[in-house]
Structure 1
């Protein structure tokens, strides 16, 4: 955390603290010696909340005001410019208006001091009201430069309803006084250049002299009269600066402690030295806004990655469903064909003559004829390849199913061809039996005619590649 000691000679002894370190400050508080703590803050405690400070070269508020084409950056906070052109201020006010930002852990630390009864007064230059949102009581806060907490007419000073001010700021419009015969411009009670600071600031300027510890955070101490406040502390009052750089002459007294760096890191380290870190983190966590259910518009505004993920999940489900259906179709086809062949076998055994050789021949021929008819029926179900196009049910079968059916039918025909070979082997041995059966069985010409009538032999009219 940067430099944790005063800028004076290291051999200079302290008068109140045990040493010029954050640990010594923590001990000083834990020992109960800091019962009246005065805190002074500037824009630096709100930058981690997303609110820009005023003077940072690239990210400061004045740097961002260039887009408003002001004659000079500070003009937006001058009363004369506001009277003639109030719109730039309301454009800026929309970015700063309370409710858009979460208090930082530094704001929570100030509230923790208040809850422990140690906060005498908070002097702040900020107009963002984050101290209030963090829970610091209003009577403990001196808003030296005013704030958005109240609004009034710049002419008659009449107060103006908060809800109407919020509406005007959201619409980037300019509100006017509601009093009869006035119609003056209305603005938040923010102190513009040339305006007087709130009277309570001046009536409270003696409080630093009553403090037994002063903590200065996130301010350049470059704007009077606020910049003079740390000087009002007594010489024996320890002063702690938590800031990016040394400012305002702090570090010149024996009990000044400099903690150079960002404010959030500094207060965590100070809270740890006091034994409060866990309590502080818990308190700050409660300032986080509750997550609201997404509106229909928010749900519609999905990121490209979210949309892509949803498409992938949708396609995955469709593929899984198609595979399930395909598997069920394959199982049905397999069972259907097997049942057909079983039926053919059963009917053939009943119709063929009992002569052994004739039974072989006719059984084989009957199987072929039955198979031809079955395929013709199947073609009406699955789509005949010789028709103008597949029937409606056939459109539901993909190429893999047709390939499977072709292969399955081919295997069946191959089995029949094997039976032909067996018949030819048995023919010489059963010649006598065949001659006896000729008088009872159909002739070869009749058998061939039967083949011709059935479509040219087997499955060639459905699956030409089997020929």
Structure 2
């Protein structure tokens, strides 16, 4: 057990001497910001602030199943700009893959749906995508799977794909977990591992710890087990225990600092370069390397469409009110004056 006021040097020494061999990681949106995906809550630059022109009932509505079920347009307006097939893994993703290569990564909980840790080389059996992924899709109503080629076409042009089953008409949704939907059953199974004796270190990267149930995972770690936070700011209760170490800054800066301390920097940079090259080749093969609209452009385009739709619906409503008013003026009895 590490003593009071643990430092990064203490943890590095324990990794080098084989005292730390089972690392569990939890990652959030901050690990992918360098890939071009804005995080959710950073003021002005976060996704939720950028969605302000759409005048959603609340920012998270774009990812809530109830809102999506009747208004899927905002989600698909930003789908091309945020689709992971456009993106390349960061050096932070490569660091997780390096831990796996060295048999140090016991398990990874990721709140991200981009799959970039898999692109970087983390074995799929060591990853739980707690919020699902973009790799498959189905109708949100009847749950019938939807063809990949039609989904790709819809994302490229920003259209909403609808179910092909006769009489359904439900909007197709990628197999990501929206607000209001249950997490994979596997989550509870893997969470129980944290409360046992199978963890030597927990690594928390790029998350606000504001979304349950992943937010409770760091607290599940035993009191004397070290926890490393790599994040722009302290979150949750990280930094309150004697065995906590906080590396504040971007995730990429933090993993480079850790890799330097471990003497892994060259190996890490090499793994990252290889991962990027593989993903670029995949993108070329699947035609995902074509430049699409930016997130800002996508939001502006939908804002204009929604304004136009609003003018049309208001005009129709006035026309109907006038028509019905004139019609019923002839049939409704006049008020009695008695």
TM-score range, shorter chain: 0.7 to 0.9
1:224-235, aligned counterparts within 5 Å?
224-235=212-223
Q: Using the alignment, how far apart are the partners of 1:28 and 1:35 within structure 2?
A: 9
**Per-residue deviation, 1:153:** 1.6
Q: Using the alignment, how far apart are the partners of 1:162 and 1:111 within structure 2?
A: 27
1:387-402, aligned counterparts within 5 Å?
none
The corresponding residue for 2:276 is: 288
**Per-residue deviation, 1:127:** 1.5
The list of structure 1 runs, each at least 4 consecutive aligned residues, that deviate by more than 3 angstroms after superposition, is 178-183, 289-292
**Per-residue deviation, 1:160:** 2.1
Match of 1:73 among 34, 55, 59: 59
Contact 1:259-1:266 at 8 Å conserved across structures: yes
The corresponding residue for 1:195 is: 181
Residues 366-393 of structure 1, C-alpha deviations (whole Å, 9 max, x = no match): xxxxxxxxxxxxxxxxxxxxxxxxxxxx
The TM-score normalised by the length of structure 1 is 0.57
Contact 2:22-2:200 at 8 Å conserved across structures: yes
Q: Using the alignment, how far apart are the partners of 2:239 and 2:4 within structure 1?
A: 16
1:241 and 2:229 equivalent? yes
Q: Using the alignment, how far apart are the partners of 1:112 and 1:160 within structure 2?
A: 35
1:310-329, aligned counterparts within 5 Å?
none
Tell me the secondary structure at the aligned position of residue 286 of structure 1: helix
**Per-residue deviation, 1:161:** 2.4
Tell me the secondary structure at the aligned position of residue 223 of structure 1: coil
The TM-score normalised by the length of structure 2 is 0.78
**Per-residue deviation, 1:265:** 1.1
Residues 224-277 of structure 1, C-alpha deviations (whole Å, 9 max, x = no match): 111100111112211111111111101222211111111111111111222211
Number of residue pairs matched by the alignment: 279
The corresponding residue for 2:256 is: 268
Higher helix share: 1
The corresponding residue for 2:311 is: none
Contact 2:97-2:121 at 8 Å conserved across structures: yes
The corresponding residue for 1:100 is: 86
1:21 and 2:19 equivalent? no
1:121 and 2:107 equivalent? yes
Moved more, 73-82 or 46-55: 73-82
Match of 2:73 among 72, 87, 108: 87
1:32 and 2:10 equivalent? no
Match of 1:223 among 199, 211, 215: 211
Q: Using the alignment, how far apart are the partners of 2:72 and 2:122 within structure 1?
A: 32
Q: Using the alignment, how far apart are the partners of 1:136 and 1:160 within structure 2?
A: 27
**Per-residue deviation, 1:207:** 2.3
* Larger radius of gyration between Structure 1 and Structure 2: 1
Structure 1 runs not aligned, ≥5 long: 1-14, 293-297, 299-467
Q: Using the alignment, how far apart are the partners of 2:272 and 2:11 within structure 1?
A: 22
Tell me the secondary structure at the aligned position of residue 51 of structure 2: helix
Q: Using the alignment, how far apart are the partners of 1:139 and 1:150 within structure 2?
A: 18
Contact 1:27-1:273 at 8 Å conserved across structures: no
Q: Using the alignment, how far apart are the partners of 2:69 and 2:201 within structure 1?
A: 42
Q: Which has the higher contact order (CA 8 A, sep 6+)?
A: 2
Structure 2 runs not aligned, ≥5 long: 285-289, 291-338
**Per-residue deviation, 1:136:** 1.3
CA RMSD of aligned residues (A): 1.9
**Per-residue deviation, 1:70:** 2.1
1:50 and 2:22 equivalent? no
Q: Using the alignment, how far apart are the partners of 1:189 and 1:89 within structure 2?
A: 13
Match of 2:162 among 162, 176, 184: 176
